Chain A
């Protein structure tokens, strides 16, 4: 559990980060909280000769809530999300999800940017951000660009972010309606056996819009547009739930691991989604 030797950098600004990334190319990686990257380095599954710590680069630790959107800096920790009063008001799903990530020690270190940039299918925030239709801001030597969370994930540890780009912020359109983040895990500190993020808007006793994303049930987070659509216009009754689950099952692609065989994961995904929808609907 000892990483290979590496150079450690702690630049004071983004220009410093970008020039190091440009100089060392593939051999360099940025580090935020380090709670995904360092374990990988210790297991020697990630070889990072040049490690660039983002902690001293200012301007990425704020949470800004405006009329129609929320901007979360990449270095905002999971703990900060849980503790932020304004967020609890504006987007309570964020703290409901963050509270189900790892344990307090990890959450003090782990960041939103690291969680969404990591590309591990086990991470909870990518699915959450897809449900919320978030936009990621990344910056490179060629300037800034924006990538939708729903377009960001290409495969396990493969994302639309270029190696020499840094993710600086997550922008979330102001969520509406009821919400729920439901996660089944084996124990505290575990990644999801299955998790569902649901946001539902109701009007006149019927579902007006619904957004659904699933975690750790494929090599990428799964935004299931069809599952959401199956609820729209219904009173979220048994038939609608069934239709949503069926649609979701068509989109996920779980694999067998220590958490269980595929049949179990499909079953649990359905149950978790039903519960998430029911809770979100009760809050809508």
Chain B
């Protein structure tokens, strides 16, 4: 029988690397059988919810909980005064700052947590919230970071010494009481010198507006303190469950072995669920106080208004080039609006994330970046919304600067990119702002993209359209959006990446069962990425057992090995590498077992798909299934029984996925309505584990990119009121607004990753935002547009047309 199975069939049976294996998660999700935090129901469970500030900046004169305690079903109301004796009225943020858990004397943003009402159910909690009486004294509001840096108004009195001096922040000296840090990369003077003497220089200010990851499932948790055994269990929407366990232990004093953190199914994260929120702390305290499990679940408005936002970068780029268009230098200054507390989720040494990838895909010899973080009266956060840390901002900056430079040089923007790309033979490439790009072949990808969309033909069509518009024959103009991005993902090497001192390695632990199936546990946690599908595929190819026989488990800190979680496209680069490495340990032991069973020397057998064969005698072999059984039923001299392995992987470098995107768009200049006619996305994420999942990730990332570019924003008025707090005003695209995406790829493996994979979940967002924006801006280029800020919603596009005199 065995002999009838061909080698090809044996490969197919594994459903390993390269197979478009169907997602094993989907059976439960499509049948409504997922298990999300809000599905957890425990005996006697209570419900907690927040009294939130209606003001963006106010002093709290008093909080009267008495009326709330009279509401039927309300059991307790926690305020900062109740948390103070425990030292829990403030909590550390991931960025080295601290944040109020409950308002301690003042509030710094609209929606800030003021009191926590604990009740028998969420209805009683909602009534209790209405009954709490809070007396506020309004203070002047700062919603613009440039103004905040000049204002006398002190937002954070806690960060000013008694003598009025400013102690250093977590990232060095502070220039002003509303200033958080200055972060620099590259060389200031050489860059300025090149800029001063260049043939061509352009400077452009641009505002990358504040937006929000808005996962479909909001944030929440269930805390359950078992007073009998002293163990705290915390289920929650955590993108980094182990880090949460460590943080909870550090701030609560509960020993880490007595804390179990569980991330069940998570309905999307996109960075929103990385940080720690007051709801977690209050639920834990409430559970300790009441001795009952306490659930906290945000509603949509809470989520949009108070949990981690993204972007809000005021950027100024300055770029120089020769007359022929060869770029000589880039300078970038950023004023970063961090809101009331610095709760950015970035590796400790990178307060502006990996913004220093802003030289992009181009060989720019000299560069300098300076970022100033600023406090304002807005919600804290600053997460990487579907991108590695601040990479969307970086790529937007450079992809806009390229367009602006092309206008200045009167050059085609595709050609300008081509002549500045880092060449294939330059990899590994050391960029001016410090990173070492692992691999790339940009010219091949670019040529393929432009050829597929018939770039020359599109430009000809556009020229005709411009002529028609000017002749009064049409009111529709056409834009061709280009973007070529390089991501930096897979944080990261412990030597330069940590969060709260925890190195950003990741892990995998594998147990092979006697009958030849397996379970693998990882330090990451899927929020929709399909880890249970793809990590089993990596393992299948490494250990020769079918992916269908491998269970992947994540998210329970009592069972999973320590890891830093899932965000920044780090799962495949880091935990995926750990999986391959652990698999190789399994294979090494399996080799010894096989050799013993086949009565030959270890070196006389070799691995072949799903078995070890005697070299030169392929009819003599032991399958991995047979080897697994032997590991448990034979006494093999010199070998311990069992077949297990664990690997903690510290990556030697980041990985650098890249891609080439083209968007073709028609715009009605009278209504501002955009119509995306075509979107082509070529992604190079190195080795492709599951092409179907890659395609799904690309579709999702592009859709969120479309949202951000064309209308999604968290907007504030001058009083600090959130203007976009519901899904009526916060743009979340549906199938209706989304075009057909064409996906494509090239494969340039990462040289340092065990299987050459680079990560893809965020690339389409990073590359997509500038592509959609460039399409809009390109449509108006023939009419004089240089740069216009996103979001490009109807009225802003209309305004753009108006300013260019197109309505006259």
Interface residues of A (CB under 8 A from B): 1-2, 4-5, 44, 103, 184, 186-191, 193, 258-261, 263-264, 267-268, 271-272
Contact = CB atoms under 8 A, between A and B. Distances in A.
Contacts of A261: 795, 799
A184 B731 contact: no
Interface of B: 122-123, 126-127, 130, 299-301, 670-673, 711, 715, 723-724, 728-729, 731, 733-734, 736-737, 793-795, 798-799, 802, 807
A194 to B, nearest CB: 9
A44 B131 CA distance: 13
A187 B734 contact: yes
Contacts of A193: 794-795
**3 residue pairs, one from A and one from B, having the closest CB atoms:** A260-B795, A2-B126, A188-B736
B731 A260 contact: no
A267 B670 contact: yes
A259 to B, nearest CB: 7
B126 A258 contact: no
Contacts of B130: 4, 44
B737 A187 contact: yes
Contacts of A184: 671, 673, 794
Nearest to B801: A267
Contacts of B793: 186
A263 B799 CA distance: 9
Contacts of B737: 187-188
Nearest to B129: A2
Nearest to A268: B671
26 contacts: A2-B126, A4-B130, A5-B123, A5-B127, A44-B130, A103-B734, A186-B711, A186-B731, A186-B793, A187-B733, A187-B734, A187-B736, A187-B737, A188-B737, A190-B728, A258-B715, A259-B795, A261-B795, A261-B799, A264-B672, A264-B799, A267-B670, A267-B798, A267-B807, A268-B670, A268-B794
A1 B794 contact: no
A186 B734 CA distance: 12
Contacts of A271: 670-671
Contacts of B672: 264, 268
A260 B300 contact: no
Contacts of B807: 267
A259 B724 CA distance: 11
Contacts of A258: 715, 723-724, 729
The residue among B126, B300, B736, B799 with the most chain A CB atoms within 10 A of its own CB is B126
Nearest to B121: A2
B731 A187 contact: yes
Contacts of B301: 1
Contacts of A5: 123, 127
Given A184-B794, A264-B795, 12 more contacts: A2-B122, A4-B127, A4-B130, A184-B671, A186-B731, A187-B736, A188-B736, A258-B729, A259-B794, A260-B795, A267-B798, A272-B671
A1 B299 contact: yes
Contacts of A1: 299-301
The residue among A184, A186, A268 with the most chain B CB atoms within 10 A of its own CB is A186
Contact of B734 (A188, A260, A264, A267): A188
B229 to A, nearest CB: 34
B794 A186 contact: yes
Nearest to A185: B794
A186 B802 CA distance: 19
Contact of A260 (B299, B723, B798): B798
A44 B802 CA distance: 40
Nearest to A256: B795
Contacts of B734: 103, 187-189
Contacts of B729: 258
Contacts of B802: 263
B380 to A, nearest CB: 23
The residue among B130, B715, B794 with the most chain A CB atoms within 10 A of its own CB is B794
A2 B71 CA distance: 15
A268 B793 CA distance: 14
Nearest to A3: B126
Contact of B794 (A2, A4, A191, A260): A260
A89 to B, nearest CB: 28
Contacts of A190: 728
The residue among A1, A4, A184, A263 with the most chain B CB atoms within 10 A of its own CB is A1
A261 B794 CA distance: 11
Nearest to B670: A271
The residue among A184, A259, A264 with the most chain B CB atoms within 10 A of its own CB is A264
B119 to A, nearest CB: 11
Nearest to A191: B728
Contacts of A191: 728
B798 A264 contact: yes
Contacts of A189: 728, 734
Contacts of B798: 260, 264, 267-268
The residue among B673, B737, B795 with the most chain A CB atoms within 10 A of its own CB is B795
Nearest to B715: A258
A4 B734 CA distance: 31
Nearest to A188: B736
Contacts of B670: 267-268, 271
A182 to B, nearest CB: 11
The residue among B127, B671, B715, B793 with the most chain A CB atoms within 10 A of its own CB is B671
Contacts of A187: 711, 731, 733-734, 736-737
A2 B723 contact: no
B790 to A, nearest CB: 15
A235 to B, nearest CB: 21
Nearest to A264: B795
A246 to B, nearest CB: 16
Contacts of A260: 794-795, 798
B268 to A, nearest CB: 19
Nearest to A184: B671
A272 B299 CA distance: 36
A2 B117 CA distance: 14
A271 B731 CA distance: 24
Nearest to B72: A5
B620 to A, nearest CB: 63
Nearest to B793: A186
A190 B736 CA distance: 12
A186 B127 CA distance: 35
Nearest to A274: B670
A271 B798 CA distance: 12
A187 B726 CA distance: 14
Nearest to B736: A188
Contacts of B711: 186-187
A44 B127 CA distance: 11
A92 to B, nearest CB: 22
The residue among A191, A258, A267, A272 with the most chain B CB atoms within 10 A of its own CB is A258
Nearest to B123: A2
Contacts of B794: 184, 186, 193, 259-260, 264, 268
B780 to A, nearest CB: 16
A187 to B, nearest CB: 6
A223 B384 CA distance: 49
A101 to B, nearest CB: 14
Contacts of A268: 670-672, 794, 798
Contacts of B728: 189-191
A260 B299 CA distance: 27
Nearest to B724: A258
Nearest to B475: A271
B132 to A, nearest CB: 14
A261 B240 CA distance: 42
A264 B670 CA distance: 9
A214 to B, nearest CB: 15
Nearest to B298: A1
Contacts of A4: 126-127, 130
A1 B725 CA distance: 12
Contacts of A2: 122-123, 126
The residue among B123, B299, B670 with the most chain A CB atoms within 10 A of its own CB is B670
Contacts of A186: 711, 731, 793-794
A258 B795 CA distance: 9
